[in-house]
């Protein structure tokens, strides 16, 4: 009996040690797995944040003109819908203005594309400083064509700002000897005053204001045409 009890106690002791080692191994493995999961989760969170930042940068690039750092026409389509809704809420008007540099092809042909890019930047900066209210939004629509979306409740106000733009562009004093309009760079403007009840899409608005711009060009350029939509 004593021998049996001795063997039993020895077996229990060994079993206890074995179970202790197994439990310790399980704990070590669990800790290792948990630490790995935590590390993976941290790396995943860091990667997700980086991906969000990259997506934001890509989104900004897709909406921004690289030469002038202005927003492009794609972004205008988004902002127009938002501004139209705001105008409806406040029972106000918004104005969309399109601007085109006069005889810019001749400018590029004779002075070169590098000077052409310099002129585009100068025009862009002038528009940014002219339209500097918080709600003013200036765009490069493509090529030598720019756009502005701003608040204006009457034609007199739009005429005043249009003339100011013409004067500010001429004040740049950029030489353009190959223009039939002036010896210096000039611009033509078409503008549409949009009533808050208007439900036109951005594309339809673009077509209407573009027709006003061409009227300004047909009337001799370095001028503006305004219509109410």
Reading the block at residue 91, the tokens are 């029972």
Which residue shows structure tokens 């611009």? 187
Q: Minimal CA–CA distance to 142: which of 86, 90, 101, 187? A: 101
CB 203 within 8 A of CB 170: no
Nearest to 138 by CA among 89, 190, 187, 65: 65
Catalytic residue selected from 81, 83, 144, 159: 144
179: left (phi over 0), alpha (psi -120 to 50) or beta: beta
Among the listed residues 73, 97, 77, the one whose alpha carbon sits nearest the alpha carbon of residue 187: 97
Q: Is 144 a catalytic residue?
A: yes
**Which residue, among 70, 91, 59, has the nearest Cα to 136 in the 3D structure?**
70
DSSP state, residue 197: T
Residues serving a catalytic function are 144
């Amino acid at each position: 009996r004593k021998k049996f009890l001795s063997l039993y106690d020895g077996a229990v002791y060994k079993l206890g040690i074995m179970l202790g080692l197994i439990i310790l191994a399980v704990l070590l493995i669990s800790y290792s797995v948990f630490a790995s999961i935590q590390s993976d989760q941290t790396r995943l969170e860091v990667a997700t944040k980086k991906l969000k930042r990259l997506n934001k940068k890509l989104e900004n690039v897709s909406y921004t003109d690289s030469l002038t750092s202005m927003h492009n026409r794609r972004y205008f389509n988004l902002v127009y819908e938002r501004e139209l809704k705001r105008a409806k809420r406040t029972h106000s008007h918004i104005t969309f203005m399109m601007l085109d540099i006069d005889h810019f092809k001749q400018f590029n042909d004779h002075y070169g594309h590098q000077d052409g890019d310099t002129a585009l930047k100068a025009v862009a900066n002038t528009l940014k400083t002219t339209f500097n209210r918080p709600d003013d939004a200036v765009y490069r629509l493509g090529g030598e064509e720019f756009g502005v979306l701003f608040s204006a409740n009457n034609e007199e106000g739009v005429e005043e700002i249009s003339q100011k733009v013409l004067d500010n562009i001429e004040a740049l004093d950029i030489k353009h000897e190959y223009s039939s309009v002036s010896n210096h760079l000039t611009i033509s403007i078409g503008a549409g005053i949009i009533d808050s009840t208007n439900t036109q899409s951005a594309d339809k608005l673009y077509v209407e204001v573009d027709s006003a711009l061409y009227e300004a060009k047909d009337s001799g350029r370095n001028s503006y045409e305004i219509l109410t939509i």
